[in-house]
Amino acid sequence: MEYVPLGRGGPKVSEVGIGTWQAGGKAWGSDVRDADCRRAMERAVELGINLVDTAEAYGDGHSEKVMSKAIQNVGRDHVFIATKVGGWHLRGDDVKKACAASLKRLGVREVDLYQVHWPDPWSQVPLRETMKALETLHRAGKIRNIGVSNFAVRDLNEARAHLSRADIVSNQVRYNMLQRTIEAEVLPYCKREGIAILAWSPIGKGILSGKYHDGKRPKDRIRAEEDLFKPANLRATVPKSRSRGFAATRTSSRFPGRNGRLRRRRTRAPQGGP
C-alpha cells in the first residue's frame, strides 16, 4: 500500500480508502449485513488501508456504530477516521452537537477528518457560521482536519474565506470513469490549491465492477432507479469496463486519476456521497 499526504503537509493516508455508506442499514439491499461490513473494514486495515470514511447520514449514524466495532478490533492508531456532519446540522450549535454524537457512536475522542457532507441549499445557513463552528472544534482537539464534500469552487472559496487558523484539506466528490463533471472546474482548482480530492462512488456504485449487466441489475433502494443501471447504459458500459480490466473479482476503489492514483498537487505533500 502506498500513502500520500492529505492536503498541504497533511497526515499520510492510504491511496485506497474504504467507504461505509453500505453499513448504514438495509438501503443497499437485504443481503448487506453489519458483520460483513465490519469484517470488510478489518480486512481492509490488514491490507494496509487506513482511510475509512463514514457519515452521520448513513443510516442515521448506524454506519458509525458498525465502524466503532471494527476500530475496537483493529486499534484506533491503525485507522484514519473520516466522518461527516449532515447538511441539516450546519448551524453552529448543531455542528458541535452532531460532532459530539458522532464521537460517541464511533467510540473515540477525536476524528481525523470532519467533513461538511453537502452545502445547505434549503435552510441557507451561512457558510461562515458552519466553518467557524468547525474551527472551534479543531482548536478544541475534537477534529484534526477540516474537509468538505460535494462543494463547487464557489463554495470552496467562500468556506475557506471564513477559516483563519486552518484550511480545508479535502473535498469529497463523485468521480469515476463515467461521471467526470468535476474535471471542468473542481479538479483543477483543488490541484492548484493543494486540496485533496476524495472520490466517492469511484466504481459507479458497482457498475464498473463487471458484476452487473442487462440481465442482472441491483434492486436495492439506492440503485434501483439509478440512471447508471438503466438497461441501455449497462449495455454500453459493461463491455468497456471489462476491457479495462474491471471484473467482479477485481473491484478497486482507487481514485481514477493519472496512473490510477489519487490526484493531488505534488508540491503539497485529496463518497455518497454520497
Greatest CA separation for the chain: 54
Which of 3, 58, 175, 189 is catalytic? The answer is: 58
Is residue 45 a contact partner of residue 79, using CB atoms and an 8 Å limit?
Answer: yes
Pairing of strands 80-85, 51-53: parallel
Pairing of strands 196-200, 113-116: unpaired
d(CA 116, CA 55): 10
What is the structure's pLDDT at 169?
Answer: 97
d(CA 135, CA 138): 5
Is residue 214 a contact partner of residue 235, using CB atoms and an 8 Å limit?
Answer: yes
Give which of 150, 68, 146 is closest to 102, Cα–Cα: 68
DSSP secondary structure code for residue 111 in this structure = B
C-alpha cell at 125: 445557513
Strand partners, 60: none
What is the structure's pLDDT at 245?
Answer: 54
**Which residue ranges form the domains of the chain, and what is each CATH number?**
3-202 (3.20.20.100), 205-251 (no CATH)
What do you get for the CA distance between the two ends of the chain, in Å?
Answer: 25
d(CA 23, CA 34): 6
Is residue 130 a contact partner of residue 116, using CB atoms and an 8 Å limit?
Answer: yes
Is residue 53 a contact partner of residue 16, using CB atoms and an 8 Å limit?
Answer: no
pLDDT digits (tens), the chain, 274 positions: 999 999 888 899 999 999 999 999 889 998 899 999 999 999 999 999 999 999 999 999 999 999 999 999 999 999 999 999 999 999 999 999 999 999 999 999 999 999 999 998 888 999 999 999 999 999 999 999 999 999 999 999 999 999 999 999 999 999 999 999 999 999 999 999 999 999 999 999 999 988 898 889 999 999 999 999 998 888 888 665 555 554 433 323 333 333 333 333 332 223 335 6
212 is catalytic: no
Is residue 202 a contact partner of residue 256, using CB atoms and an 8 Å limit?
Answer: yes
Give which of 98, 26, 32, 34 is closest to 67, Cα–Cα: 34
C-alpha cell at 272: 455518497
Residue with cell 465502524: 67
Q: What is the pTM of this model?
A: 0.87
